[in-house]
Amino acid sequence: MFTQARFFIRTALLQLVAAFVVGAALLVNQGLGLGSWVGVLQPVFYHLLMVGWVTQLICGVALWMFPVLGREQPRGPAWMGWATYAGLNAGLLLRAIAEPLHTLSPSPITGDLLVLAAVLQVGAIWIFVLAIWPRVKPPRGAAPAQPKA
């Protein structure tokens, strides 16, 4: 398994653990009433689970398993994979910090940080799509699809 895929998959596993720690805190809060501040972590839980775990796992496995492009750059430009990794994780970290703060005490700064987090994550996904698109191709030796008459 090549380096980028390992980074994506290991980080996804760490995000899964983080999501379950936050999820456990949310469940304990329901039973023991630790405080309303714990409840503001619910969106963080969902983002850790869906962006941190699921999306990163999908990206890592896709970068690893999709057909290669050629001998020189088998997986395309390396910077695209790293930009995806950096954008997803920076956006997720920023969101995990800014969203609870914005919920507890809304301000223009935390609102701007949430926008920046979203831009980083959306940009990362677009870069991923551009990186993986050329690798989505029919198997070697497959006959081209014939249009139906």
Mean pLDDT by 10 residues, the chain (149 residues): 93 98 92 82 96 97 89 87 97 96 94 97 97 85 70
Whole-number pLDDT of residue 113: 97
Whole-number pLDDT of residue 39: 87
Whole-number pLDDT of residue 2: 86
Whole-number pLDDT of residue 63: 92
User: For the residues of 4-28, what is the DSSP string, one character each?
Assistant: HHHHHHHHHHHHHHHHHHHHHHHHH
Measure CA 29 to chain center: 27
Please report, for the chain, the start and end positions of each structural domain, with discontinuous segments joined by +. Answer: 3-66+75-135
Whole-number pLDDT of residue 144: 66
HSE-CB at 146 with a 13 A cutoff on CA atoms is 3
**pTM for the full model?**
0.87
